[in-house]
């Protein structure tokens, strides 16, 4: 059974092994906006695009068997309130003998921010974020971080930026009606997508055995409950349906009888 202490010891060892490589960035990070100017009273979207190099990956908010999620500290003008982080849909893959949840392709981590209505036009404002991540491949892990900024004018009108299609590709996951049944250590998640390709990504916390195969049949998606001191009473996470650009995410928050 995975434990937090064991997980952190694994990460610590990997970071020590990776120390000689730290000077070589394995992930490129960029701060993007979906608009070319700040219009008072309107909403903009900001996003950190993490682009891992070949054979490298970064992590979702739940990293899986090992790893660490990326973190973002937004540095915005006083009084601006960043919205909740919209995580890109993760992938489930194996590396170093573990099952991980994350990204081996460019991944945009975005927020929405309302521009104050009383903002004066004719000035430029600097927007920033401190981003940190863990990049891993089959052999080692390398921590990375960057302070990213961009400057935008305050104006009466704005156009869509060249990055807007990247923001539009991501959709906020919708809640999905579901049912969970339990038979011993097996959980069966049933939704309307029973006959389609689905993958369940649990929210952070010990819920399922990440490395256990996820098998789907007419009854639903079969998962293995993690060993806990108290039985799991609620299944919470993200159900990803489909493949490629047709992938869609749905939130699951269902009591377990």
The predicted-structure confidence for 144-165, as pLDDT tens digits, reads as follows 999 999 999 999 999 999 999 9
The pLDDT assigned to 11 comes to: 47
Name the band, by pLDDT with cuts 50, 70 and 90, for residue 25: confident
User: Length of the chain, please?
Assistant: 257
- Identify the CATH number of the domain defined by range 174-255: 2.60.40
What mean pLDDT is predicted for residues 37-60? 97
Both structure tokens of 238: 């993200």
Q: CA–CA separation, 230 vs 209, rounded Å?
A: 15
Query: Which of 128, 165, 123 is CA-nearest to residue 149?
Result: 128
Q: What is the mean pLDDT of the chain?
A: 91
For residue 5, the model assigns a pLDDT of 40
Task: Categorize the per-residue pLDDT at 179 as very low, low, confident or very high, splitting at 50, 70 and 90.
Answer: very high
| Structure confidence by residue, pLDDT tens digits, 111-142 | 999 999 999 999 999 999 999 999 999 889 99
CA distance 39 to 42: 6
Token pair in block for residue 7: 């997980």
CATH 2.60.40.10 in the chain is located at 4-169
Beta bridge partners of 128: 75, 149
Q: Extract long-range pairs of 228-234: CB within 8 Å, 24+ residues apart.
A: 231/256, 232/187, 232/207, 232/256
pLDDT of residue 15: 43
pLDDT at 97: 73
Could you tell me the two tokens for 53?
Answer: 């190099």
Looking at the DSSP bridge assignments, the partners of residue 249 are 240
Dist. CA 194–CA 134, nearest whole Å: 34
| pLDDT grade for 194, boundaries at 50, 70 and 90 | confident
Q: Among the listed ranges 4-18, 19-33, 125-139, 171-185, which one has the minimum average pLDDT value? A: 4-18
174 vs 180: CA distance, rounded Å: 18
Residues 213-227: tens digit of each pLDDT: 999 998 999 999 999
Q: What is the pLDDT of residue 16?
A: 37
Q: For residue 49, which phi and psi values (nearest 5 degrees)? A: -95, 115
Give the angle subtended at the CA of 207 by the CAs of 186 and 104, to the nearest 5°.
105
| pLDDT at residue number 95 | 73
* Predicted local confidence at residue 52, as pLDDT: 97
Contact call for residues 208 and 226 (beta carbons, < 8 A):
yes
The pLDDT of 171-185, averaged and rounded, is 96
Residue 4's SS3 state is: helix
Structure-block tokens of residue 211: 């490395």
Write down the pLDDT at residue 3.
Answer: 46
In sequence order, the β-bridge partners of residue 51 are 28
Q: How high is the pLDDT of residue 22?
A: 42
Q: Check pLDDT > 90 for residue 20.
A: no
pTM listed for this prediction: 0.88
pLDDT of residue 24: 61
Dist. CA 120–CA 8, nearest whole Å: 48
Q: Which CATH superfamily is domain 4-169 in?
A: Immunoglobulins (2.60.40.10)
- Mean per-residue pLDDT, 193-197: 89
């Amino acid at each position: 059974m995975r434990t937090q202490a064991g997980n952190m010891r694994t990460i610590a060892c990997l970071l020590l092994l990776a120390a000689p490589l730290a000077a070589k960035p394995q992930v490129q990070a960029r701060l993007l906006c979906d608009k070319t100017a700040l219009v008072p009273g309107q909403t903009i979207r900001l996003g950190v695009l993490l682009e891992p190099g070949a054979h490298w990956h970064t992590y979702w908010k739940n990293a899986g068997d090992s790893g660490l999620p990326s973190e973002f500290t937004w540095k915005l003008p006083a009084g601006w309130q960043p919205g909740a982080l919209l995580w890109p849909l993760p992938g489930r893959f194996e590396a170093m003998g573990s099952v991980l949840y994350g990204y081996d392709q460019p991944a945009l981590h975005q927020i929405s921010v309302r521009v104050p209505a009383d903002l004066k036009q004719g000035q430029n404002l600097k927007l920033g974020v401190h981003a940190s991540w863990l990049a891993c491949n089959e052999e080692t892990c390398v921590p990375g971080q960057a302070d990213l900024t961009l400057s935008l004018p305050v104006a009466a009108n704005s156009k869509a930026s060249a990055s807007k299609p990247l923001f539009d590709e991501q959709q906020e996951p919708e809640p999905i009606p579901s049912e969970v049944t339990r038979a011993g250590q097996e959980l069966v998640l049933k939704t309307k997508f029973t006959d389609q390709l689905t993958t369940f990504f649990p929210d952070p916390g010990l819920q399922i055995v990440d490395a256990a195969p996820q098998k789907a049949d007419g009854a639903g998606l079969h998962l293995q409950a993690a060993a806990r001191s108290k039985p799991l009473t609620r299944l919470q996470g993200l159900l990803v349906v489909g493949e490629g650009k047709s992938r869609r995410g749905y939130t699951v928050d269902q009591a377990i009888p």
